[in-house]
Structure 1
């Protein structure tokens, strides 16, 4: 991952920066604040954890999340060089304080949160910007959602569609608007009879071979399954270990759905949202029952840094008994969009675009290829005929003399 200038983010924080290193103690503090982890004595003294009930046994599975968090704070540390005297954060502990404030009041507005954490309205523009960055960093660590365009710029994404959390809108409301629900006829709560056919048709292997689509990792939960028709790229939010922690702490709630505010207060994202992301990865796009799909997923883990936890399917530890067959109320429209792209591919090459503009897309491509081949063979036949005529003429003009 690099900045817009192509500089690796992990190199941006100087060795003297408080964010240059992410220690085991920092990781434990982050897990305790986010998910309420209580560590065993061995973990507290950074020894080998031997207690199967201790959440410390899962620290290793979250290494990709910690790697992302370190890149995040490294980007913030890099920005400090521009307004060192006005910096809002000086340690990982101060980030955790912001996260705690958010969990205490998930309906708080950004203006009120800034006042609660930093005090009254700052006088300098640089300080105000830095406070916005600090809050955005904490929101991202807690929800894996970008709430400020600074995060997009820091990762060199430049996505102009990214939304800023408005100053006077409650955080829970902002997140609800980022994740609207819809009962899509193909993948929603009342899925059509063609659901299983549609689902089985959009595996990664078929999307790559027939749709010529590719996959790109995203660190922004709200970008999961976004399809860029122009480039043929599908974004995948791959931090499955992070999502599983959300499911663990919202399990056994008596079947009553929790609101965004309730889940934020617990340090989680809504169960339905987390399950849709997990199942869209492990059951639909990269079905773990398909060796070919697993092979593709392994290559993405190696080449693009996807979370290796994507390969680990869990059920009893994170799911309720009724959470088996997932209906997609958050991501149904995006799955349908991907299916539509497979059925009606967007022309991307010059020849495909030209044919599409003329009339019937791929049908015209076949016609064009046929015409080109006919023209080629016609010219070849004509050339051969001319050559044969020339040879006959030469034989007539210069007959071979025999004795």
Structure 2
């Protein structure tokens, strides 16, 4: 890595994440976002449009951190006015998308970046609306479950049921890395794929902002956004699901799956560094999965009723509802009768052959 690249990474990590670090997986995402959006300018838009630079992204980061109550439209206008007052190049609103992704690993244009019919279960990609504040957008992506279901609470206590090795054996699950935190723990039943937000070093960097604070898990969204970070409860739950639920170090098979994902699928190597996934020494007795409880409960339910994985299993699954119970019973009766008739016929043939051998053998 050149000195210029090292300086670039140090500047970004200090101003966005609040500390130095390698952040290998994080910078793959950041650099790709900047490059992709600049390629878009060259191929689609007018050639005089200014490129997205670190300066434009950091300008947007500062605005997001200091003025999060503004709507998206107001935020873009404020960034443009600030750039003009400081005699910077024209601010392009796509720099704000990169800034939002860099700060929170949340795609503010997810709806536009997916096909119109893209769905995973009940999940539909959602974008930041022009008349919506950043806080309202994040609340819409991560609605806290104030009354966690009994099933989710059961999973929160007995999380061993959804370890990686069990998901792989029972569901044939393939673990798919995602850079969008909103897609964490989504299970695509059509492809047997579990989306996993894997940027552990990013999560730890955000959690480090809350070190030393009293009772950090009660810190709300507005105070967190002022820090340039996500709520500690969401960060802790996400890192906890990675390192204590899916890939715990005390489960050698699950830990081996994680090592393979790091080597072959680009998972963040820091996932295998098991220190610092909580901002407290031990989880309090009242700790619950407020944000990821429902998705963990869904995984638990899938483990209990494994979905059909091929055409034959899907056929039986479609025809095994209560409404088709009589059909299944009649089909079973018919098969039993057919097997009985075949057995009788085979016995008759065997008796005849025995008689024939006795009658005509000298």
The normalised TM-score by structure 1 is 0.73
Aligned residues: 342
Out of 108, 112, 128, the residue aligned to residue 165 of structure 1 is: 128
Task: Specify whether residues 368 and 26 from structure 1 end up closer, same or farther in structure 2 by C-alpha distance, changes over 3 A only.
Answer: farther
What CA distance in whole angstroms lies between the structure 1 residues aligned with 2:68 and 2:151? 30
Task: Specify whether residues 373 and 140 from structure 1 end up closer, same or farther in structure 2 by C-alpha distance, changes over 3 A only.
Answer: farther
Please report how far the alpha carbon of residue 320 of structure 1 lies from its aligned counterpart in structure 2 after TM superposition. 2.3
Asked if 1:180 is matched to 2:143, the reply is yes
Asked if 1:93 is matched to 2:75, the reply is no
Out of 178, 197, 218, the residue aligned to residue 218 of structure 1 is: 178
| DSSP-derived class of the 1:216 partner | strand
User: What residue number does 2:281 align with?
Assistant: 321
| DSSP-derived class of the 2:47 partner | helix
Please report how far the alpha carbon of residue 219 of structure 1 lies from its aligned counterpart in structure 2 after TM superposition. 0.7
What CA distance in whole angstroms lies between the structure 1 residues aligned with 2:343 and 2:267? 52
Please report how far the alpha carbon of residue 84 of structure 1 lies from its aligned counterpart in structure 2 after TM superposition. 4.0
Matches within 5 A, 1:96-107: 96-107=58-69
What CA distance in whole angstroms lies between the structure 1 residues aligned with 2:170 and 2:331? 21
Matches within 5 A, 1:274-293: 274-293=235-254
What CA distance in whole angstroms lies between the structure 2 residues aligned with 1:237 and 1:339? 19
| DSSP-derived class of the 2:267 partner | coil
| DSSP-derived class of the 1:245 partner | helix
Q: CA RMSD in A?
A: 3.7
What CA distance in whole angstroms lies between the structure 1 residues aligned with 2:61 and 2:239? 24
What CA distance in whole angstroms lies between the structure 2 residues aligned with 1:241 and 1:377? 65
Please report how far the alpha carbon of residue 255 of structure 1 lies from its aligned counterpart in structure 2 after TM superposition. 1.9
User: What residue number does 1:205 align with?
Assistant: 165
Gaps of 5+ in 2: 83-89
| DSSP-derived class of the 2:196 partner | strand
What CA distance in whole angstroms lies between the structure 2 residues aligned with 1:207 and 1:369? 32
Task: Specify whether residues 180 and 380 from structure 1 end up closer, same or farther in structure 2 by C-alpha distance, changes over 3 A only.
Answer: same
Gaps of 5+ in 1: 1-20, 38-55, 121-127
Asked if 1:24 is matched to 2:18, the reply is no
Asked if 1:117 is matched to 2:79, the reply is yes
Please report how far the alpha carbon of residue 113 of structure 1 lies from its aligned counterpart in structure 2 after TM superposition. 1.2
What CA distance in whole angstroms lies between the structure 2 residues aligned with 1:151 and 1:111? 17
Out of 180, 189, 196, the residue aligned to residue 229 of structure 1 is: 189
What CA distance in whole angstroms lies between the structure 1 residues aligned with 2:264 and 2:332? 36
Aligned 8 A contact 2:207 2:279 in 1: yes
User: What residue number does 1:260 align with?
Assistant: 221
| DSSP-derived class of the 1:306 partner | coil
Task: Specify whether residues 159 and 356 from structure 1 end up closer, same or farther in structure 2 by C-alpha distance, changes over 3 A only.
Answer: closer
What CA distance in whole angstroms lies between the structure 1 residues aligned with 2:269 and 2:335? 48
What CA distance in whole angstroms lies between the structure 1 residues aligned with 2:331 and 2:93? 55
What CA distance in whole angstroms lies between the structure 1 residues aligned with 2:192 and 2:278? 33
Residues 184-225 of structure 1, C-alpha deviation per residue, up to 9 Å, x if partnerless? 23476xx35x7533x121111111112332221111001111
| DSSP-derived class of the 2:171 partner | coil
What CA distance in whole angstroms lies between the structure 1 residues aligned with 2:28 and 2:161? 34
Aligned 8 A contact 1:65 1:242 in 2: yes
What CA distance in whole angstroms lies between the structure 2 residues aligned with 1:347 and 1:368? 20
Matches within 5 A, 1:3-402: 23-37=5-19, 56=20, 59-60=21-22, 62-81=23-42, 82-85=44-47, 87-119=49-81, 131-149=92-110, 152-153=113-114, 159=118, 161-182=124-145, 183-186=147-150, 191-192=153-154, 195-197=156-158, 199-255=159-215, 257-315=218-276, 319-321=279-281, 323=283, 326-359=287-320
Task: Specify whether residues 301 and 381 from structure 1 end up closer, same or farther in structure 2 by C-alpha distance, changes over 3 A only.
Answer: farther
